[in-house]
Chains A and B, each alone.
Chain A
Amino acid sequence: GAGVSQSPSNKVTEKGKDVELRCDPISGHTALYWYRQSLGQGLEFLIYFQGNSAPDKSGLPSDRFSAERTGGSVSTLTIQRTQQEDSAVYLCASSLQGTPNTGELFFGEGSRLTVL
């Protein structure tokens, strides 16, 4: 596609429910990143994919968070047993390679998650 696409754009859920957030990167981009942006906070790194592998998942805040990527393309971020502190905007970005030499990260518009 023309840009990074994320869905849903908004998600309201009840505490304890599971949610899935989807990211469709720019075609041909091998690197994919998930970030979290909480109210008044900067961007917090969650996980990095190169192809289907995740060499860096150091930012996942707990074992309730997981992510996968299939076919070197679409990625899904899953949050199990959601808590109110999970409320945030989840941003996905992709780049042509996992280095900056080929350019910048291209970001989607994010999925806003609200946990009641």
Chain B
Amino acid sequence: AQSVTQPDIHITVSEGASLELRCNYSYGATPYLFWYVQSPGQGLQLLLKYFSGDTLVQGIKGFEAEFKRSQSSFNLRKPSVHWSDAAEYFCAVFSGGYNKLIFGAGTRLAVHP
């Protein structure tokens, strides 16, 4: 069955530091992969998505993610974190046969000044 694992429940970084959030997926075919962000009291917003082609995808707010088939990973990165990036981040894989997104448990990011 398709699944998504986000190994880090909480991450704390200093403002200006680099960030990498890990995501591993289990899916038989070429996956469609997404990263969403949920700020406190708000709905989920799409950061970026991977369908095919270039394995390094750029998103909004300066985020990028790299698809690595050999590692079944789709890690999210940002070179310099801002205090406003504090939020919860969800990785998701599209389950094509079932027409739904399967989400990981999320990683909560805290940013220290």
- Footprint of B on A, CB under 8 Å? 4, 31, 33, 35, 41-43, 45, 48, 50, 55-56, 58, 91, 93, 98-101, 104-105, 107-110
Instruction: For the complex, give the distance between the alpha carbons of A41 and B88 in Å.
Output: 11
Interface of B is mostly: strand
How far in angstroms is the closest Cβ of chain A from B90?
A: 7
Is A91 a contact of B100 with CB atoms below 8 Å?
Answer: no
Query: Which A-chain residue is minimally distant from B106 (CB atoms)?
Result: A42
B residues less than 8 Å from A42 (CB atoms): 90, 103-106
**Residue-wise interface mask of B (94-108) relative to A, using a CB-CB cutoff of 8 A (1 in contact, 0 not):** 101011111111100
* The residue from B42, B49, B51, B100 contacting A56, defined by CB atoms under 8 A apart: B100
- Which of A58, A101, A110 is B43 in contact with, Cβ under 8 Å? A110
> Number of B residues contacting the other chain (C-beta, 8 Å)?
24
Residues of B within 8 A of A50 (CB): 99
Question: What residues of chain B have their CB less than 8 Å away from a CB belonging to chain A?
Answer: 32, 34, 36, 41-46, 49, 51, 90, 92, 94, 96, 98-106
Verify B103–A104 contact, CB threshold 8 A. no
Complex Cα–Cα for A94 and B51 (A):
19
Shortest beta-carbon distance, A68 to chain B, in Å? 18
**Neighbour of B44 across the interface among A55, A56, A91, A100, CB < 8 A:** A91
Question: In the complex, what distance in Å separates the CA atom of A63 from the CA atom of B45?
Answer: 31
Q: Are B103 and A43 in contact (CB under 8 A)?
A: yes
Q: Which residues from chain A contact B96 at a C-beta distance below 8 Å?
A: 99
Q: Are A43 and B100 in contact (CB under 8 A)?
A: no
CB of B34 within 8 A of CB of A104, answer yes
